[in-house]
Amino acid sequence: MKQVRALVVTGFGINCEEEMAAAYRLAGANADIVHLNQVFKERVSIHDYDILNFPGGFSFGDDLGSARVLSNKFKFKKMASGKHFIDDLAEFLQNKKFIIGVCNGFQALVKMGLLPNIGGNFDQEVTLTHNDSGKFEDRWVTCGVNTDSSSPFLSGLQKIDLPVRHGEGKLVIRDDGVRRAIIEKNLNCLTYLDPEGNGTGEYPYNPNGSELNCAGLIDPGGRVLGLMPHPEAHLSFYNHPAWTRKKQRGINSEEGEGLRIFKNIVNHIRHQG
């Protein structure tokens, strides 16, 4: 059976790398945490891995907008060999591998053009900007999964509870053409739900006011996933603030709902290769 390898990058203010690596280890994969400078200097190659992970955090202090500096580094940084890192990412995806970005990682993916990447040329088509509330939101949300999306990360999931921890999570779409394509191609893979299970823009169920009630996006090939909520923060049933009520309702599994996303992708890679 194929041993799945996950590369979790860190550095420059990323601070959720340990939780993300733990998620892969619990899912049965090998996970290495590597500083981005080691990747840029080509001492570590992303091509030795099956999944590339951009965790959450506060890269460069969010001083110029969340992940703006980090995304520019990804897009314009020349590696030791002289090639640009964005070209290495394109090759990684052409080799049918996978990328996930959570929170600050999602912000970096949209700002460097990997999501939604409808045009296929890494132009920025959407952004993630200041929450409508005007403040940092630290709360649990319920998200609905678009079952027509092509992402193996979300296979078999319909609804999932996860925490959000962000000040700039509002998705804003560049124009009507991009908006139509996101809808038609089912790229809006996660939406914020109200207590009745309906997609909502109502605060606090939608913590930021995202267009399309969007909590997560995929690319047209289904190989890149970005989401604002933190699946790596719900690895155990006991992470959930209402775990006692869930237990009283007969939910006995001790596995957190977020872990299912990592198990999904590990199992998918294992069976395809």
**Alpha carbons 4 and 264: distance in angstroms, whole number:** 12
Tell me which residues are annotated as active site.
Answer: 103, 230, 232
Contact 227, 215 (CB under 8 A): yes
Dihedral (CA of 110, 163, 257, 31) sign? positive
Residue type, 29: A
Contact 91, 45 (CB under 8 A): no
Phi and psi torsions of 225, nearest 5°: -125, 130
